[in-house]
Every structure is written in C-alpha cells, then in structure tokens.
A and B are shown apart, each in its own frame.
Chain A
Amino acid sequence: MYRWFHQLGSPPTFYKWSGQWLPWLTFVCITLFVVGLYGGLVYAPADYLQKDSFRIIYVHVPAAWMSMFVYVVMAFSGAIALIWHIKLSEIMMLSSASIGASFTFIALITGSIWGKPTWGTWWEWGDARLLSELLLLFLYIGIIGLYSAIEDKRKAAEAVSILALVGIVNIPIIHYSVIFLNTLHQGPTVSKFDSPSIETSMLIPLLIMALAFKLFYIIVLLMRSRNELLWRERRSQWVRNIIKGTGNV
C-alpha cells in the first residue's frame, strides 16, 4: 500500500495511471449528472413554499460544499508539499486553486439568483454564509494572485502552501465571526442527519449531484495536473517519449 502510494507520487506513474482512470471517471460522472439532474429537475416534487425555484439547490448546494472541500484539499496538499517537497502535491494544490475559485463563484451566483425570488433581494449583507463565501472567493483570488506574481514557480508553490495553511486556520474564525453578525440564510437542512428537514425524494438527487460534482472536480483536477506536469517536466525523457509518440512511459 505504502509502496503503491510512493510510486503514484512519481510523475510518469501518475501520468500513466491517471490516463487510465480518466475515461472511467468521466463515464461515471456523466451518468451521475444525468441521473441527478433528472431526479432534481423532474422527479422531485415542487416545494410547497418556494415552488419550482428551489430546484436551483441542485447546483447551488453542491457547488458551495465543493468550494469548501477544495480549499481543505488544497491546504492539505500544501502541507504535504511543504513537509515532504512532493512535486505532485504542489501541482495538485495549484490546480485546485482555480477550480475552487470557480466553484465558489458558481455558489455565489446561483445563491444570488435563488435569493431574488426567495428573499426578494439579489444580495443580502446581513447573511453570514453569503459573506463567508465571498471572503472565501477573495482568499482563492489571493492564492492565485500570489502564485502568478512570483517568477520562480517552485518558490511560488512554497509561498502558496504557506498562505493556504494560514487561510485554513482563518476560515473557521472568519465564518463564525460573520455568523456573529445577524443572519438571514435558512439554517442547515441536510447536515442534521438524524432528522433532515428535507423530503427524501428531494434529498437523494441532491446527494447524487454532490457526488457528481465531486467526481467532476477530480476529473478536472487530474486533467489540469497532467497538463501542468507535462509542462514542468518538458525537458525530461518520459515527456519526450510521449510527445514523440513512442508511448512507452
């Protein structure tokens, strides 16, 4: 197991493995998306209060979950990169940053679209989750900005790892300090596992969509990492072999 992990950390092996996994992952992801979207948009009944407008939950909530999940992944791979100097985890972290920023942006936009019919306003400053999501977006932008500002990319990766770790310590503090201000957002509906305040026929498509979003993240992460890996290792022999088409990695 450990040895397998170790091998996966080496760029050529990772490139080979991820290339084999990608088609399967894509297939499962598309299936989940189709099932989840059908379940959410057609099968699930309309909400008695919010009517059909609640259906945006099937994009909004998974995107919001992913926005936080990706940050955690980023911070962890940043820590790994700082401690063991594994090149692959540096690449994972950097590829995650812009994906996470996109998820955060999607969560904000869909939240704002959902807010208009439900709360009657596009943007509500009094709401805690909206604000912490916005601040999360700024943290992502800071990370992307710092990475692109430092010329030496190995150094930049180190700087970004430190920043991601500082950010992960701060996110709970930011979140609870914003909750400290008054809040308008509806309370958590799904996390109360013993008695979720959401109907099962609505919940299942949501979970399927969450899974589909997670797979989508993994797919894009792998594709971006492969790209970045090829670019960084462009002078090494195994990349030349791939480009020449001799194929033997």
Chain B
Amino acid sequence: MNIFITILKRDLLLAIRHRAELLNPMLFFVLVIVLFQLGMRAKPAVLVTLAPAIVWIAALLSALLSLDHMFRSDMEDGALEQMIISTQPTSLLVLAKILAHWIITGLPVTLIAPILGLMLGLTGDASLILFFTLLIGTPILSAIGSIGVALTVGLRRGSVLLSILVLPLYVPVLIFASQTVNTFMAGYPIFASLSVLMAMLVLSLSLSPWASSAALRMSVS
C-alpha cells in the first residue's frame, strides 16, 4: 500500500509544480465545446438533445490528449524502470498513476462540466446527472487509457496510434453515459444505465492495472 500513496503524492506534487499543465486539459475541454457550438449554430431545442454527447466527446478528447503524460516523462528520465524493478507490485503503481491522472485531468473536467451543461441549455437536474456520469465515467477513461499508454510509451511517436488503440475501447462509456443523460431528459428512470456505468468502473479499475503492468514491463525491457 505504501508505494500507492508514495506514487500518488509524488505525481500530484509534480502536477502542482507545473500549474499550466494542470489547467490545459480543462481549457481544452471548454474550447472543444465552444468549437462545437460555433460550428453548428444549432437552435436551443436541438442543442439540448446534443449537449450530453458534445460534453462527453470533449471529455473523451481531453482525457486522450493528456494520457501520454501518464508514463512518458518517467520513462524518459528512467524513473519508470526503477519503479518496475523495485520489489513492489507494478499493478499498484499503475493504479496510483491512474488515480493521479484522474485527479489531475478527469476531476477538473467533471467539476466544470455542469456549468457548461447549463450553457448548452440543460436543466439544472440534467446537469447534475451529467456531472454524475462524468464522475463515474472519467476514471474509466484513465484506466483503459493506461493500457494504451503503457503499450505505446516506448515509441517515439505513439500519439496517433494511441488514439486508434484507445478510442474504440471508449465507445461503451460514451454510449452509456450520454444515453443516461438523454434517458433522464426523456423522463425515464436512469438507475439501470448508471449501474452499468459503475460496473464498468469496477471492471476497468480492477483489470486494467494488470494489463498495463504487463505492457509496461514489455515497453521498458
């Protein structure tokens, strides 16, 4: 358990030292949503139906953009290698990295999303539901993404490949999360689809550290 807390603290401290990087994913998220609206000029009635999908796609892209930081800098200065050859389990290390990545990128996006939801014309309640789907869903993005990053971190230019590897795996999250908000707006109960999202969260958090640590050992060796 020690390594988990140590890595988490270290990553968060590193993030606080680089405040600009801390803001980037959130700014990117806001910008993508603004661009959507500028490109479409949709009427408010149409915009409301599109809003959950727009917010979620923006969240997905900003998670994708920041994924590469998860292991890259540690790989370059050799810290990652030391962490892997240490006696501590690598999967715990990966879990700490996933959590740190979520706190740095997923959480700010989740916190600002209800405001953007309101700007896109969602009602207060719908924005709240949107917030909850993001709260459950963004850690899944970090967890699944960690596998993709671990596979491509050894490559010089892995970022395009990373998006091809990771985006198809993000599809279920996108579908269930945006459908949850849409179902809520149509006035139906949403407990079932929220439960599925939570199941995905548990599944991805428990399985992806294993896959990622296998991939990391491959990338570093």
Q: A146-B161, A177-B175, A180-B176 are in contact. Are A155 and B221 (CB under 8 A)?
A: yes
Nearest to A138 among chain B residues (CB) is B168
**Interface window among B40-48, B127-135, B148-156:** B148-156
Contact assessment for B158 and A177 in the assembled complex, using a CB-CB cutoff below 8 Å: no
In the A-B complex, the 3 residue pairs with the closest CB atoms: A177-B172, A138-B168, A142-B165
Complex Cα–Cα for A165 and B207 (A): 11
**Chain B interface residue bracket vs A:** 20 to 34
Query: Which interface residue of B167, B175, B179, B221 has the most chain A CB atoms within 10 A?
Result: B175
Contact assessment for A166 and B147 in the assembled complex, using a CB-CB cutoff below 8 Å: yes
26 contacts between A and B (CB under 8 A): A142-B161, A142-B164, A142-B168, A146-B152, A146-B161, A146-B165, A150-B154, A150-B155, A155-B154, A155-B221, A162-B147, A162-B211, A162-B214, A162-B215, A162-B218, A163-B147, A163-B151, A165-B211, A169-B207, A170-B172, A173-B200, A174-B168, A174-B171, A177-B175, A177-B176, A180-B179
Interface of A is mostly: helix
Which A residues are CB-close (under 8 A) to B172?
Answer: 170, 173-174, 177
B169 interface residue (CB < 8 Å to A): yes
Our pick among B147, B167, B175, B200 for the contact of A178 (Cβ within 8 Å) is B175
Q: Mark B167-183, 1 if CB is under 8 A from A, else 0.
A: 11101100110010000
Complex Cα–Cα for A162 and B175 (A): 25
Query: Which interface residue of B147, B155, B218 has the most chain A CB atoms within 10 A?
Result: B218
Which A residues are CB-close (under 8 A) to B167?
Answer: 138
Contact assessment for B214 and A177 in the assembled complex, using a CB-CB cutoff below 8 Å: no
* Chain B interface residues (CB < 8 Å from chain A): 147, 151-152, 154-155, 158, 161, 164-165, 167-169, 171-172, 175-176, 179, 193, 200, 207-208, 211, 214-215, 218-219, 221
Nearest to B179 among chain A residues (CB) is A180
Report the count of interface residues on A (CB-CB < 8 A).
26
Contact assessment for B211 and A159 in the assembled complex, using a CB-CB cutoff below 8 Å: no
Contact assessment for A139 and B168 in the assembled complex, using a CB-CB cutoff below 8 Å: yes
Contact assessment for B164 and A158 in the assembled complex, using a CB-CB cutoff below 8 Å: no
Q: A146-B165, A166-B147, A166-B169 are in contact. Are A159 and B175 (CB under 8 A)?
A: no
Complex Cα–Cα for A177 and B208 (A): 19
Complex Cα–Cα for A109 and B208 (A): 34
Query: Which interface residue of A135, A146, A181 has the most chain B CB atoms within 10 A?
Result: A146
Q: In chain A, residues 156-185, which have Cβ atoms closer than 8 Å to a Cβ of chain B?
A: 158-159, 162-163, 165-167, 169-170, 173-174, 177-178, 180-181
Contact assessment for A155 and B161 in the assembled complex, using a CB-CB cutoff below 8 Å: no
Query: Which interface residue of B154, B167, B171 has the most chain A CB atoms within 10 A?
Result: B171
Complex Cα–Cα for A82 and B214 (A): 10
Nearest to A156 among chain B residues (CB) is B218
Query: Which interface residue of B165, B168, B179 has the most chain A CB atoms within 10 A?
Result: B168
